[in-house]
């Protein structure tokens, strides 16, 4: 017999950048592992240095970084960590980006524009990533930008369970904020056994973070409207949507979104809007100055940990969502 036979057990390690340490620790706690000790700091001119303090040779590595503000800095740190892992002989590198930066730039709206979401995928592939994992990508087509496996997770079960526990289901109407979210809204209607309404709006591609709501398609009079979206940035679109719903007779408005970006002046807008509750997950850190009285933040770490465990065990990530039809 020629060669050498080894019976080494697989080793999974979790590494995290500096963008959201609370989420990283929560994921580690749910997995029952410790984060790999990592040195990371900025030089005086802004360049980033990273180094892992223990060997990861032959490991199945999950490197977690959410792309919060300052987005470009944390994306660069994420890329550098992936490159360092590749050069340290990691067996497999899975990029875990709960919020995927530049996801809104997934197509050209006019000539001479970049498709930044595609460039992001290319950058991670070039750096050495074997697999991507993210939560509620802005559009599903982004999965096709990366030439490898992509685990697209959904916060729908977490958000819908909270709404189902706290709101009278007989009074709920699920509202899609635009045509692009109708499929997701339909899954909400299946879970909550509620009717659907759609906001018909037109957005000016030359004016970011603003949209003009034209009309509400569906009956919302006397109903508790649950608006379902993937992210809230400045809050302008959501506030206009809530105003249109109240004008059409809605008795109450609840807003749900996976990612709470909350760029200024979102917190003030949402607090003063008359919206009963804004529900988001903690895929992004939300500092105290961006929090407000009617905000509810739900943990995403248990879902990320379960997905990471399924990937490491060569199981089925899709099975996590079989009961909600996503």
Q: HSE-up of 264 (CA within 13 Å, CB side)?
A: 4
Name 273's Cβ contacts closer than 8 Å, sequence gap at least 6. 235, 238, 239, 242, 243
- CA atoms of 68 and 21, how far apart (whole Å): 12
Instruction: Give 57-85 pLDDT, tens digit per residue.
Output: 999 999 999 999 999 999 999 999 999 99
- CA atoms of 265 and 318, how far apart (whole Å): 37
The answer to pTM > 0.85 is yes
Instruction: Give 114-144 pLDDT, tens digit per residue.
Output: 999 999 999 999 999 999 999 999 999 999 9
CA angle 193, 196, 197 (to 5 degrees): 155
Instruction: Give 183-239 pLDDT, tens digit per residue.
Output: 999 999 999 999 999 998 766 666 676 666 568 999 999 999 999 999 999 999 899
What domains, with CATH codes, occur in the chain? 12-154+302-319 (3.40.50.2020), 156-298 (3.40.50.2020)
Question: Which entry of 86, 91, 201, 309 is annotated as an active-site residue?
Answer: 201
DSSP state of 177: S
Q: Quick check: is 240 catalytic?
A: no
């Amino acid at each position: 017999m020629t060669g050498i036979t080894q019976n080494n057990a697989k080793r999974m390690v979790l590494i995290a950048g500096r963008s959201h340490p609370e989420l990283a620790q929560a994921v580690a706690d749910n997995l029952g592992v410790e984060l790999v000790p990592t040195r990371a700091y900025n030089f005086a001119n802004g360049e980033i240095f990273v180094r892992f303090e223990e060997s990861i040779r032959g490991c199945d590595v999950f490197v977690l970084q959410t792309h919060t503000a300052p987005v470009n800095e944390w994306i660069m740190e994420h890329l550098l960590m992936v490159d360092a892992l590749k050069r340290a002989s990691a067996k497999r590198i899975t990029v875990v980006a709960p919020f995927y930066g530049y996801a809104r730039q997934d197509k050209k709206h006019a000539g001479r524009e970049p498709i930044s979401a595609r460039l992001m995928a290319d950058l991670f592939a070039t750096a050495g990533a074997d697999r991507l994992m993210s939560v509620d990508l802005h559009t599903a087509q982004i999965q096709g930008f990366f030439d490898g496996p992509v685990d697209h997770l959904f916060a729908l079960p977490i958000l819908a369970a909270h709404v189902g526990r706290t709101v009278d289901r007989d009074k709920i109407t699920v509202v899609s904020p635009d045509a692009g979210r109708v499929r997701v809204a339909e899954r909400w209607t299946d879970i909550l056994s509620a009717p659907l309404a759609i906001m018909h709006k037109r957005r000016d591609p030359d004016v970011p973070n603003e949209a003009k709501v034209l009309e509400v398609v569906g009956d919302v009079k006397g109903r508790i409207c649950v608006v379902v979206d993937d992210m809230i940035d400045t809050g302008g679109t959501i506030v206009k949507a809530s105003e249109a719903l109240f004008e059409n007779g809605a008795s109450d408005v609840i807003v749900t979104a996976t990612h709470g970006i909350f760029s200024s002046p979102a917190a003030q807008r949402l607090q003063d809007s008359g919206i009963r509750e804004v529900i988001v997950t903690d895929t992004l850190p939300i500092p105290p100055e961006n929090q407000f009285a009617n905000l509810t933040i739900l943990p995403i770490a248990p879902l990320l940990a379960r997905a990471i465990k399924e990937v490491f065990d060569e199981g089925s990530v899709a099975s996590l969502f079989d009961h909600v039809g996503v």
